[in-house]
Amino acid sequence: MPSLERTFILQVPSSTENLVMIRDFVTSIAEQAGLTPGEVADMELAVDEACANVMEHAYGRDMTKEVSVRATLDGDTVEIDVIDTGQGFDPTAVEQLELDKLISSRRSGGLGMRLMKKLMDEVHYEMIPGKKNELRMIKRLRKK
Amino acid sequence: MQDGLTILSPAGFLDAHTAPEFETAVEQEIEAGHRKLIVDCQGLTYISSAGLGVFMSFLEELRESGGDIKICGPSPKVLQVFEILGFPAIFDMLPDVAAAVKRYAECPVKGGE
């Protein structure tokens, strides 16, 4: 029997204090989807990283803006879309330096993106300049 | 306890919201002349890259002056995040405070053996 697609949306002001709420939202959806505790933790962290990047970089800490997190479950995958209307960027231009190089250059940038790619099965960016940016992350359910 | 060791024990979650507070705490220790830090992560339930960035930003400065940051006691969930980004190759990571104290006695600066 095909599974029914279910969609959940959380929209919060762009303030890092709301990261807790975002993590709780994602955790309960990932649990409902049947992910393992380890996979739930992976998704929690990946979405936190995506939203923190939006708050700090796309919106430059402007708390009047909003971040949307949309989760879609279809029985095979959990898809999370993080949507903002802030400043976009070129994901291919983000340098992926090794940890020791980052430390010696006193930078920690790009770690969030690295984590997202390691923790999720797919990560895609879609930027429509001046309109919206959408980051889509997918975790596939392992069939028992 | 050896002289000159300072233990910091962040508790709860360390994310982009709480990392600045932890950063200030580390900064204050360094300003007070404390160079040999042990960060006891036993009470930490969650860490994101913002929290990891704090460990990274002070490491060189501390090592250049004969100090270090030794990380101990993370839960499996928190340890996994350190491991994904390759922290164990750069930082001494120990199971608990006693092991971190012992490590300071054996090797004050990782890589300086």
Looking up residue B80, the CATH number of its domain turns out to be 3.30.750.24
Is B111 part of a structural domain of the chain? no
Tally of CA atoms within 13 A in the half-sphere of A31 that contains its CB:
8
Q: How far apart are CA A55 and CA B67, in angstroms?
A: 34
Is B112 part of a structural domain of the chain? no
Report ipTM (2 d.p.).
0.92
- Work out the number of other CB atoms within 10 angstroms of the CB of residue A5: 10
State the nearest Cα–Cα gap between A65 and chain B, in angstroms.
17
Pairing label, strands B5-8, B36-40? parallel
Is B19 part of a structural domain of the chain? yes
Q: Into how many domains does chain B fold?
A: 1
Tokens coding B59: 């490491």
Kindly determine whether residue A102 and residue B56, on different chains, have CB atoms separated by under 8 Å. yes
Could you say which of A38, A48, A98 has the minimum Cβ distance to residue B15?
A: A48
State the nearest Cα–Cα gap between A41 and chain B, in angstroms.
8
Superfamily in which the A6-140 domain is placed by CATH: Histidine kinase-like ATPase, C-terminal domain (3.30.565.10)
Kindly determine whether residue A19 and residue B15, on different chains, have CB atoms separated by under 8 Å. yes
Could you say which of A16, A41, A102 has the minimum Cβ distance to residue B16?
A: A16
Q: Yes or no: say if B107 and B70 are a contact pair by the CB < 8 Å rule.
A: no
pLDDT, tens digit only, all 144 positions of chain A? 567 899 999 999 999 999 999 999 999 999 999 999 999 999 999 999 999 999 999 999 899 999 999 999 999 999 999 999 998 887 777 777 788 888 877 666 788 999 999 999 999 999 887 789 999 999 999 865
The parent domain of residue B77 ranges over: 5-106
Could you say which of B49, B57, B87 has the minimum Cβ distance to residue A115?
A: B49
